[in-house]
Amino acid sequence: MELFGLLTELKGSTLQFAADAVYERINCSIDKHIKEHGIDAPIGTPYQPVWQPEAEREQLDLRATGITSIVWCIGFSPDFRYVEASVFDGHGQPVHQRGVSAQCGLYFLGLPWLHTWGSGRFSGMAKMPNTWQSR
């Protein structure tokens, strides 16, 4: 596994990333608040990750690295802004049959009512029979 920063763009088969500076911005705003209000608080220390990559990667060429699938984890609420495919209804929701869209190779997982209400929760998914067909 390799971690990247914030996805900012897709050019051809290359994903572009920006460094994730959220933690430092939050710390700076807290330190500024403490200073402005004269609060007596210990000085924070910069975040030190337990593992450091050899170099900060700003891009990833999917084709050159042989990546053919992406699992898109969107967090707590759906955000399909980066999915540029004609697979959405008039309300911005994906049109699919049990998670399989009309776009070859584009699948949805973790949405409610993919098959049952529990489909929206990974703990609610049961092993499915081997009925998937290659598209």
Assigned token pair, 13: 């088969």
> What pLDDT is stored for residue 55 in this prediction?
74
In this structure, of 27-41, 56-70, 80-94, 105-119, the range with the lowest mean pLDDT score is 105-119
> What pLDDT is stored for residue 87 in this prediction?
94
Give the confidence band of 71 by pLDDT, cuts at 50, 70, 90: low
pTM of the predicted model, to two decimals?
Answer: 0.41
Instruction: From residue 16, give the alpha-carbon distance in Å to each of 12, 24, 42, 85, 95.
Output: 11, 21, 38, 19, 27
Q: Are 24 and 47 in contact (CB under 8 A)?
A: yes
Distant-in-sequence contacts of 79-82, Cβ < 8 A, 24+ apart:
82/7, 82/10
Give the confidence band of 133 by pLDDT, cuts at 50, 70, 90: very low
> What pLDDT is stored for residue 73 in this prediction?
63
Q: Which of 56-65, 86-95, 108-117 has the highest mean pLDDT?
A: 86-95
Instruction: From residue 131, give the alpha-carbon distance in Å to each of 16, 36, 97, 116.
Output: 35, 62, 13, 17
